[in-house]
Amino acid sequence: MKINQRRVSTYLLILGIVFLAIGITTNNTIFSWVSAAMLLLSLLFGGRWMRPRKRP
């Protein structure tokens, strides 16, 4: 079974934003740290910036 990295990246991005909102509204740093980790994982899984550019 192959993992769809783009879909995982989208889910991690959404969860990271939700956890960030919860962390800001409750003033809880654990939620903020978890959200930062999820956002970084989202960039690593689906970031187009990691793929090399095709040169013409």
pLDDT one-digit tens code per residue, 27-49: 888 988 999 998 888 888 876 65
Here the tokens at position 37 are 């980790």
Task: Classify residue 34: in a domain, yes or no.
Answer: yes
Evaluate whether residue 55 is within a structural domain: no
pLDDT, the chain, mean: 82
In a domain, 13, yes or no: yes
Q: Which domain holds residue 9?
A: 5-50
How far is CA 26 from each of CA 8, 14, 23, 47, 48, rounded to the nearest angstrom?
A: 27, 18, 5, 30, 33
56 part of a folded domain: no
pTM for this predicted structure: 0.73
Structural domains of the chain, count: 1
Catalogue the long-range contacts made by 31-40 (C-beta closer than 8 Å, 24 or more residues apart). 38/12, 38/13, 39/12, 39/13
Q: Are 29 and 23 in contact (CB under 8 A)?
A: yes
Provide the pLDDT for residue 49: 59
Under a CB-based contact definition with an 8 Å cutoff, are residues 38 and 12 in contact?
yes
Q: Look at residue 1 in the predicted model and tell me its pLDDT.
A: 66
